[in-house]
Amino acid sequence: MLFVQLFAPPPPAFLDSRSTITVWLQNPATAEEARNRITVVRGKAMVKVKSVEARERAKQAPSRSFVNLPGTFQSALGGSDWDPSDRSTEMVPLGGDRYELIAVLPKGRYEYKLAMGGNWDKNFGADFVPGGANLAIEVPTATLVRFIADFRAKTLRNSLQHPTEVPRPTVAPAPYKPSGLAQSFTLELERPLDPDDLGKGLTIRVGREKDRTVVARGVLDGSEWTYTGNDLGAKVQGNRTAFRVWSPPSDKVNLIVRQDGRELRVPMSKGPKGTWAATVDRNLTGALYQYEFANDRDVTRAADIYGTAATADSKWSALIDLNKTNPSGWDATKFQTLKSQTDAVLYEVHVRDFTSSPTSGVRPEWRGKYLGMVEPGTQPGTIPTGLSYLKWLGVTHVHLLPIQNFNPDHSSNYNWGYETTLFNVPEEQYSTRASDPTVTIRDTKRMIQGLHENGLGVVLDVVYNHSVPSEGPKSAFWAAAPYFYFRTNDRGDVLNESGVGNALHDERPMVLKFIRDSLTFWTREYKIDGYRFDLLGMFTRNTVADLAQAIRRVNPNAVIYGEPWTGGGPNRFPKGSQKGLRVAVFNDDFRGVVRGDTNGNVGGAMMGLVGRESDVVDVLQGSIDRFATSPEETVNYVSAHDDLSLRDKVERLIKGPEQDRSVELGLAMVILSQGIPFLEGGSEIGRTKGGIANSYNAGDSVNQFNWKRAEKFWPMASRVRDLIALRRAHPALRLSQASQIRRLSKRMNGLAAGLVGLDLDGAGAGDSWKRIAVVFNTSREAKNLSMTGWRLVAGAPGSSERLMPGLSYAVFRRD
């Protein structure tokens, strides 16, 4: 006899297609028991169910010490793939913080992670990095494999890839037998619902529980609800203002307009594909508006996800004539042109960090603002600052941390901004008048214009993988279509695949359309030159390809790159997925080889690690023998806003004057490598965050540029500037094809231990120099060098044709 436990209220059921409803039970059951307990009614009539099939298997709630390997082999072992609570890959404790799993893996390639506690809150990827990239294993034939996780040593090894460290098992464990009970079920209706029927009025009854409503979720992916028009949002057309919003689940939608202290309520008419439309016979420029969504569960007001301006609290969208936000000369502002993505030199800054310090010389009212980014001629001391410094340094693109409207709860506090709320609206806190949406937009455009006029492209750091908040009355996405925009499980829980609360469901056609439309809007309206995608690993390859194509239809020269990992959930776009898309990914192989680990005590080549010269060559040559088919696909870097700043990392491992040599060597390896160089803003002028790794909310005192301190590091900055100029002047240093690298870049032989050198055929690359050699000394000791017939053109202090000081680099030419 099945015990029924009553919960109030039970979760809703979900209409996931015209003929299927997903129901999660509070008490597990067999399919037969579920069929007897669950009834579907509409009004007083029973709705016939054709079949009931188990979905999510019931499992004992894992403890906080539960450890497993979620990944793509779980289904082969009788479980559910990428389930951190699934017992098919549960690891057995061995003592001493060590855990073991022995399993027979069928032939194939699998990806996986290590998780603890039955969820993604605590997970580990490659190199035991928390939330890191997926691990991968290739199984040539069905094989018994032993996995050993050691939390103390921070290692995860297996007998197939690490046979000397992990003994091969000889005895197979008893096969995993999932419970015959299931937690959720698919009800297949005997007759599919009509195309325009979203299950309104359907009720699910489970035993004596309170009736459950049926929420339209997956069914909205159907073509009947996929709107392809380009008129979502609001638009002023002469003396008329038109509105259109997509909200299939709503029974009624009202437009609420606020202007001159009055509110106007306008019933909206149901349109095609789940849209609602209204036209007001007035020019409503300057007015505020919301949508009021009503269904059989509740009534919710929210801003417009397609709105292009908003109040500072993000509760109201604002009607703005975007043409009137254009600064003088805006029409003449053009995209920055590149022949190849490898022509770019990326420089990462946060708008507030760059000029918030009085040492920036920026006028007080512009410090930390959009306009502060482009105030000309600032030089309060002996060196140029702000825009003048960027122009002097010679980078090609400024990578801006998020400037899309983010979590209003943080609008008055320091924050990096990875909490986007309204994606088509610039963040108001960087405006000179945060309460005026027109000024905010104009300031944003003036910043972009100023950077363009000084030869600098603008890359936006965008966060389309999640939104804040995800659910409830403050979320405009949730108000328009509850449960739809975000990844949810069978119970309706929002899945925290980003590590920050939720994950946008990019495979859904209307979610993908929104992201595509938003990126196209920014590219066209704000003349954006490129995008850096936060947690790109959360998207599918199809999504990434779609978005890249949409961006380049507007700006063919756009630089596009992103992080090939997630915040904890399954990685759908790991390194290698980018092949052939002209989309680059952050190369953590490069970072690991050159820098070492992110925040620990392991150093890489730039800190004196000798013995990995072959790995150094691999990453310097664009990782084309690792995961990239083109150097256009790899962003080479040793530091970014995440984790310890470059100087803070070096100071953890190296003391004394060698610190500067180490930092400069790391930057030289980035700039002189094949691929796209990416520089953490300020790393060349001694920027430090005081040893704080995740400084997202640590405030100005930790994060701001200290331009007075920069004076001390000016010689290093000058040499970095020379390297950037050298790279930009010589195509052999920025090849665009893997075939060129294989043909024109050769490893130099006969060098002393710790020296790594590349001999480049400049003539073959169409370079003005016949041959170019780049040499790095990754040892902390001086090394002899014989470069007879070569001429030194750039290098660390003390470098010559005969000697390479410890932790140094040099560039030579030969005609």
* 447 vs 400: CA distance, rounded Å: 11
Q: Name 453's Cβ contacts closer than 8 Å, sequence gap at least 6.
A: 333
The reply to whether 589 belongs to the active site is: no
Q: Is the pLDDT of residue 2 over 60?
A: no
Length of the chain: 815
Question: What would the mean pLDDT of 501-528 be, rounded to a whole number?
Answer: 98
- pLDDT band at 288, cuts 50/70/90? very high
- pLDDT band at 434, cuts 50/70/90? very high
CA atoms within 13 A on the CB side of 664: 28
- Given 81, 461, 534, 597, which residue is catalytic? 534
* 778 vs 617: CA distance, rounded Å: 12
Architecture of the domain defined by 225-325: Sandwich (2.60)
- 21: helix, coil or strand? strand
* 88 vs 77: CA distance, rounded Å: 6
- pLDDT band at 208, cuts 50/70/90? confident
Are 447 and 371 spatial neighbours (Cβ–Cβ below 8 Å)? yes
CA atoms within 13 A on the CB side of 401: 23
Question: What would the mean pLDDT of 121-145 be, rounded to a whole number?
Answer: 90
pLDDT at 3: 31
The reply to whether 711 belongs to the active site is: no
Are 485 and 216 spatial neighbours (Cβ–Cβ below 8 Å)? no
**What Å distances lie between residue 695 and 290, 400, 416, 691, CA to CA?**
35, 16, 8, 9
* 777 vs 617: CA distance, rounded Å: 12
- 784: helix, coil or strand? strand
Segment (H or E) for 441: helix 437-453
DSSP 486: B
Class of domain 67-158: mainly beta
Question: What would the mean pLDDT of 172-191 be, rounded to a whole number?
Answer: 88
CATH topology of domain 745-814: Immunoglobulin-like (2.60.40)
Question: What would the mean pLDDT of 205-228 be, rounded to a whole number?
Answer: 95
Segment (H or E) for 509: helix 509-526
Q: Is the pLDDT of residue 267 over 90?
A: yes
- pLDDT band at 410, cuts 50/70/90? confident
> Which of 42-46, 290-294, 422-426, 797-801 is predicted with the least confidence, judged by mean pLDDT?
42-46
- pLDDT band at 39, cuts 50/70/90? very high
- Given 563, 615, 643, 660, which residue is catalytic? 563
Could you identify the residue written with the tokens 């032989």?
749
- pLDDT band at 8, cuts 50/70/90? low
| Terminal C-alpha separation, the chain | 89
Question: What would the mean pLDDT of 30-34 be, rounded to a whole number?
Answer: 93
Question: What would the mean pLDDT of 128-135 be, rounded to a whole number?
Answer: 86
Pairing mode of beta strands 114-116, 233-237: unpaired
Q: Where exactly are the structural domains of the chain?
A: 13-58+181-216, 67-158, 225-325, 745-814
688 residue type, one letter:
T
Q: What is the pLDDT of residues 49-101, one digit of tens each?
A: 999 999 988 877 788 899 999 999 999 998 889 999 989 999 999 999 999 99
Mean pLDDT (the chain, rounded): 95
- Does this chain's domain 67-158 share its CATH topology with 745-814? yes
- Which token pair is 75? 């289904």
- 72: helix, coil or strand? coil
How many other CB atoms are there within 10 angstroms of residue 582's CB atom?
17
* 435 vs 495: CA distance, rounded Å: 34
3-state SS of 689-756 is: CCCCCCCCCCCHHHHCCCHHHHHHHHHHHHHHHHHHHHHHHCHHHCCCCHHHHHHHEEECCCCCCCEE
Are 210 and 27 spatial neighbours (Cβ–Cβ below 8 Å)? no
- pLDDT band at 6, cuts 50/70/90? very low
pLDDT at 411: 81
Does residue 78 come out as left (phi exceeding 0), alpha (psi in the -120 to 50 range) or beta? left
pLDDT at 5: 37
Are 342 and 353 spatial neighbours (Cβ–Cβ below 8 Å)? no
* 27 vs 209: CA distance, rounded Å: 11
Are 62 and 120 spatial neighbours (Cβ–Cβ below 8 Å)? no
Question: What would the mean pLDDT of 795-812 be, rounded to a whole number?
Answer: 97
pLDDT at 7: 42
% of the chain at pLDDT higher than 70 = 99
> Which residue(s) pair with 772 in the sheet?
760, 813
Q: What is the pLDDT of residues 583-629, one digit of tens each?
A: 999 999 999 999 999 999 999 999 999 999 999 999 999 999 999 99
* 14 vs 21: CA distance, rounded Å: 5
Q: Is the pLDDT of residue 119 over 60?
A: yes
CATH topology of domain 13-58+181-216: Immunoglobulin-like (2.60.40)
